[in-house]
Homo-oligomer: A and B are copies of this chain.
Amino acid sequence: MSQEKENISLEAARALMRRAFEAAGVPEASARSVADALVAAEAEGQVGHGFSRLSDYVAQVQSGKVNGSAVPTAQKTGASAVTVDAQHGFAYPAMDLAIETGVAMAQETGCAAMSITRSHHCGALSIQVDKIAQAGLIGLMVANAPAAIAPWGSNVPLYGTNPIAFSAPRKDGPPLVIDLSLSRVARGKVMNAKKTGQPIPEGWALDSEGNPTTDPDAALAGSMIAIGEAKGTALALMVEILAAALTGAQFSSEMSSYFSADGPPPGSGQFLLAIKPGDGPGFAARIEALLGQIAALEGARIPGTRRIAALEHARAHGIDVPVQYLHIARELAGDDG
């Protein structure tokens, strides 16, 4: 794969992606939601959730694995709880609807739970919890994903890398955003190693017998190592219960691939919480005091600092995207040249 890149503005990138989805028959509102989220991930530096996904997403629309025309529906199950059915369409329009509904609920009642079912790949969770914090609320989000982590003591993956994300509003400037998967390293890094034919370091993954491996193929057939041994796998179970059992979605072990166009819809789940801090100046001041303490420590930095720098750079200077991804996007969009 060529490493050559081309610079493109965020606005142009969003418009290009949108046209690529519209050309595949995705209605304008959904095409915009998906395009915006993929470009936002690319701008954050989460390139595994950006342009690299476009051709797989379009192929899944074409095969019917993703219902490109789906319109998500929201059902309020209480004053502080909403369930959104993604209708086997893209996750992004469903998350937009869930967050819009849940944020309004939490502003009113102090707290809201958002369950999303019959969903798809949710990309970078950071982008979703950021929206909750932009509305002045604390955000929490978990999601499941195709099975990659085994319960502690076993070699059989039952859990996805099941990410946890968190956000808190800040008085001035962008929110604090934390976004982490429960595997020691992202599974995408193993996939990249496979693509480039490189071995992986020990400590990333186990083969299907439960032995340490440096072979990316053996790792993908085996399982990813969780953070914190039994603790990380217990957190992965917590995420599985919230993102799948509670939402009514498929478990990680039941889910089809987010990459291949074959098979039934993945039917995955996402779960979000919005929590309203007190109205007074107390919370904002305390957040600044705590983050100021971290920033003042030698060697430490506030989580998400790199993400915010990448976003600011992308807004000012656009993003550098591998040329072959832009080529694919332009072809899908039906652009000349």
Contact = CB atoms under 8 A, between A and B. Distances in A.
A112 interface: yes
A110 B79 contact: yes
A150 to B, nearest CB: 7
Interface string A234-275: 110110111011101001010000000000000000000101
Q: How many copies of this chain does the complex contain?
A: 2
A229 B225 CA distance: 14
The residue in A112, A138, A231, A299 that gathers the most chain B C-beta atoms within 10 A of its C-beta is: A231
Contact of A290 (B80, B245, B248): B245
Interface in A195-247: 227-232, 234-235, 237-238, 240-242, 244-246
A294 B112 contact: no
Nearest to A180: B231
Interface stretch (A36-44, A89-97, A281-289): A281-289
22 contacts: A78-B111, A80-B80, A80-B112, A81-B276, A138-B242, A150-B297, A151-B297, A154-B294, A158-B294, A158-B297, A166-B241, A180-B234, A180-B235, A227-B232, A244-B290, A245-B277, A245-B286, A251-B289, A251-B290, A251-B293, A253-B293, A273-B273
A301 interface: yes
A47 B228 CA distance: 23
Contact of A108 (B79, B112, B228): B79
Interface string A63-94: 00000000000000111110100000000000
**A-side interface size class:** 35 or more
Contacts of A1: none
A188 interface: no
A151 B277 CA distance: 24
Contacts of A152: 300
| A-B pairs, 7 with minimum CB distance | A81-B110, A227-B228, A78-B110, A154-B300, A153-B299, A80-B109, A151-B300
A154 B241 contact: no
Nearest to A106: B80
A168 interface: yes
Contact of A300 (B81, B150, B166, B253): B150
A48 to B, nearest CB: 17
A104 to B, nearest CB: 13
Interface in A106-141: 106, 108-113, 138
A245 B235 CA distance: 23
A174 interface: no
